[in-house]
Structure 1
Amino acid sequence: MSDVTDWKAPPGSQLERLLGLARAPAPVRTAVVHPVDGLSLAGALEAAQAGLIAPVLVGPAAKIHAAAKAVDLDISGLELRDTPHSHAAAAEACALVRSGAAAAIMKGALHTDELLEAVIHPALGLRTERRMSHVFIIDVPTYPKPLLVTDAAINIAPDLATKRDIVQNAIDCARAMGVERPKVAILAAVETVNPKMTATLDAAALCKMADRGQIVGGALDGPLAFDNAISREAAEAKHIVSDVAGDADILLVPDIESGNMLAKQLFYLARAQSAGIVMGAQAPIMLTSRSDGVLSRLASCAVALLVAQAGRLKPAR
């Protein structure tokens, strides 16, 4: 396992700043779902050593112990909830959150769909009155602050009502990270409303919803093209007068394809690093990936800690 003292974040890294924000509070009690391989166990232990989470391992005890032994990890001091298989582990994790015995969930060695299937169960899951959505918290070396991109992982082609929830989830995430009034840029291909382009119509409607108090806590503007959202020079060249343009904290993408491509372009072409979290359930959910580095995994835990402490959403009625 990588020791948390072995890595160093790049100077000025926004993800390192997140870790700093999360160091003072007590670690969040986290249900780690089906950690039956060395990678998921190591991730949980790294976060525990960093003081970010207090892990509760949920899954088949024999497989968890075998995985720990295979990579020489000591899990003797961790709480373990024995379940027969991954489906039961996901259900037990949800039960722990509903009972108050856990305040966050971390995905282990199971498919994301399998975990989310348990989370959205109408009776035994963690649904609230909001749609769940994924938020990437991205550290782009050429951008002066964290850039949140949503939703690039869960909602495929969100309608206006779903986009409203996606925006509110992202605002809540940013506020938990210490951004007092997040600036939300609603992306489209152009910066003017075009009746033939649904993304521009939705952008205009979302801005009016914010004016009417249907979205709270942030400043919205859109439609905005990507360049106008993150570059003051580009916004000024188009004569856009806006507090959001050129200084966005949050980028709302039109659909999952555009969001996924945008995020991955930043990762691979701009050497960006990211954390990720699912918002909108009764507890934050960390969907860690096998390709995530130590810093990304720890930063995801830091965001989950901050979101959990900011307050829990009410269950769906």
Structure 2
Amino acid sequence: MHENRTYDEIRVGDRAEMPRLCAADDLFAFAHCSGNHNPMHLADRDGDGDGVNEAQAPQMWVASLISGLLGWKLPGPGVAMESLCVRWMDVAQAGDQLVARAEVLAKEPGGRIRLRVEVDRADDGTALMGGEAVVRAPQVKMTFVEDEIPGLVVQRHLHFDRLIDEARALGPLTLAVAAPENAVSLAGALEAAAAGLATPILVGDPARIAAAAAELGASLDGVEIVEACGHHAAAETACLLVREGRAAALMKGALHTDDLLRAVLDRDRGLRAGRRLTHVFVMDVPGLPHPLLISDAAINIAPDLETKADIVRNAIDVARAVGIELPKVGVLSAVEVVNPAIPSSIDAALLSKMAERGQITGGLVDGPLAMDNAVDLGAARTKGIKSLVAGQAEVLIAPNLDAGNMIAKELSYIAHAEAAGVVMGARAPIVLTSRADGPKARLASCAVASLARVFAAGAR
């Protein structure tokens, strides 16, 4: 319970303080609320051209901490601010721990209270702001339940930013792009090249590729083009470039996924490597502290147990490649107990036992888990599930393609996640993007392929 302090209760010399971390997301939220989009105050921008992202808190955001202190603690709910006269002495930056303080200087007629106010940096005591406030104190004693107000999630994709930076540091990935013969598919390859993530080799009809470039207003100067007439020939030629070592990964262009995978699976000229081909979504969900992987959502329609085992193995490899040292893999079903009437619950239990016996390695695997108790600790505890995975899964294995695809698209269109897509299990990663993907998702797909290739090389 929380009580305010009325005019009659307040005494000269009364004090209150309130700590607050200046988080990067606070700066974005303030920019939305205030309309102040000055890049000096945004954590991922360089506002003055010096090559350094400033991430300075707006001075009025610092002043808003005084509003919070007076409105909740001294005097508290029911207060009305009449004036605030302050001077700023220094700036706060994202990551600073701050403390706002107030001290009652005088009680004045009309229910007014005059207070000294200040905001300091907590670690070294540096004064950021100081001055005086005059408020009308509440006249009626009130008690409030400290209900949480609606939460805010800032739609940033920090995980993809990190993956792109890490992949860029590895140097460009030579990418055989099969049939980039429309603007969308060509844009992905050229964006990756411009970002320093890839050196594309464009395989297809040169005239169509040139027309796509003209539509984009993009230059193909210095970009290698290998002629191949028809999508089947483009897919075969792209695979040949990988087999010959001229390319390190494949990228789907304007051809159908089946046409590309048919060439990959060709026993004589393809890229078979012993495992089933499986698709892995790496998703950057705003507010989630780690990437979330979902598999299989694009290739295996109704996988049997053997295929699911490869789905898990490939997903673990990708998770480790993107920086999750010991991935927690939740194998999903509709329930968290084995039910003979629900085949996916049996498969999940068998996959968990296979991991326990060393048939699947590199991660912690548990199932069956329902979606809620796979990703939410509270739900897992409510169900009494004791597991190192339950409630904190970083990889979700769907029972079939329908379920995996729905999970991924719900996260994209309802939770505003970005999704990077790769196909694993072949000799080289395959970048599989959608026409609906934005630039960040396309770049992240190339970054994941680059990181996965380096991981696979180190794991051999």
Q: How does 1:194-213 map to 2 (within 5 A)?
A: 194-213=339-358
State which drifts further: 137-146 or 235-244.
Answer: 137-146
State the partner residue of 1:81. 226
Corresponding residue number in structure 2 for 1:165 = 310
Matched, 1:275 2:420: yes
- Secondary structure of the residue aligned to 1:311 is helix
8 Å CA contact 1:277, 1:303 repeated in 2: yes
> Could you report, residue by residue, the CA deviation over 1:176-218 in whole angstroms, capped at 9, with x for unpaired residues?
1111110000001111111121111111111111122111100
Q: Which structure's residues are more often strand, by fraction?
A: 2
SS of 2:317's equivalent? helix
Shift of residue 269 of structure 1? Answer: 1.5
- SS at the partner of 1:155? coil
Moved more, 239-248 or 37-46: 37-46
- Amino-acid identity (%): 56
Q: Can you list the C-alpha shifts for 1:108-133, whole angstroms capped at 9, x where unaligned?
A: 11111111111111111111211011
Report the Cα distance in structure 2 between the residues aligned to 1:26 and 1:150, rounded to whole angstroms. 28
1 CA distance for matches of 2:345 and 2:407?
Answer: 18
2:185 matched to which residue of 1? 40
Pair 1:121-2:273 in alignment: no
2:314 is aligned with what amino acid?
A: N
Counterpart of 2:194 in structure 1 is 49
Structure-1-length-normalised TM-score:
0.93
Give the direction of change, closer, same or farther, for the CA distance of 1:12–1:290 in structure 2 (3 Å limit).
closer
> Which of 253, 270, 280 is the aligned partner of 2:398?
253
Q: CA deviation at 1:76?
A: 1.5
Deviations 1:73-130 (A, max 9, x none): 1112111111122211100011111111111111111111111111111111111211
Aligned letter for 1:27?
Answer: P
Q: Which residue of 2 aligns with 1:102?
A: 247
The one-letter code matched in structure 2 to 1:190 is V
When the two structures are superposed, what TM-score results if normalisation uses the length of structure 2?
0.65
CA deviation map 1:203-258 (0-9, x unaligned): 11111111221111000011011010100011111111111111111000100111
Q: Please state whether the residue corresponding to 2:168 is helix, strand or coil.
A: coil
Distance 1:142 1:70, change over 3 A: closer
Which residue of the partner structure matches residue 290 of structure 1?
A: 435
Where does the alignment leave 5 or more consecutive residues of structure 1 unmatched?
1-6
Q: Which sits farther off after the overlay, 121-130 or 167-176?
A: 121-130
Which of 158, 167, 173 is residue 28 of structure 1 equivalent to? 173
1:15 aligns with 2:160: yes
Residue 225 (str. 1) matches residue 370 (str. 2)? yes
Aligned to 1:142: 287
Of the two structures, which has the highest relative contact order with CA contacts closer than 8 Å and spacing of 6 or more?
1
Q: Which amino acid aligns with 1:119?
A: V
Q: Distance in 1 between matches of 2:361 and 2:424?
A: 16
- Give the corresponding residue for 1:4: none
**Aligned residues of 1:281 and 1:313 also touching (Cα < 8 A):** no
How far does residue 61 in structure 1 lie from its aligned partner after superposition?
Answer: 1.6
On the 8 A contact 2:348/2:367 being kept in 1, the answer is yes
Q: Output the CA distance in 2 between the equivalents of 1:223 and 1:257.
A: 18
- Counterpart in the other structure of 2:7: none
SS in 2 for 1:23: helix
Q: For the aligned residues, what is the CA RMSD?
A: 1.8
One-letter code of the match for 2:198? I
Matched, 1:111 2:256: yes
Aligned with residue 205 of structure 2, among 57, 60, 63: 60
Q: How many matched pairs?
A: 308
**2-structure distance, mates of 1:53, 1:105:** 11
What is the DSSP-based 3-state SS (H/G/I as helix, E as strand, rest coil) of the residue aligned with 1:243?
Answer: coil
- The unaligned stretches of length 5 or more in structure 2 are 1-43, 46-153
Amino acid at match of 1:80: I
Deviation at 1:70, TM superposition (A): 3.4
Paired letter, 1:271: H
Task: Report the Cα offset of residue 10 of structure 1.
Answer: 4.7
- Name the CA shift for 1:313/1:22 in 2 (closer, same or farther; >3 Å): closer
Give the counterpart of 2:407 among 262, 286, 290.
262
Q: What secondary structure, in the 3-state scheme, does the structure 2 residue paired with 1:137 have? A: strand
Q: How far apart are 1:67 and its partner, in Å?
A: 2.3
When Rg is computed on C-alpha atoms for both structures, the one with the higher figure is: 2
Aligned to 1:288, the other structure's residue is in SS state coil
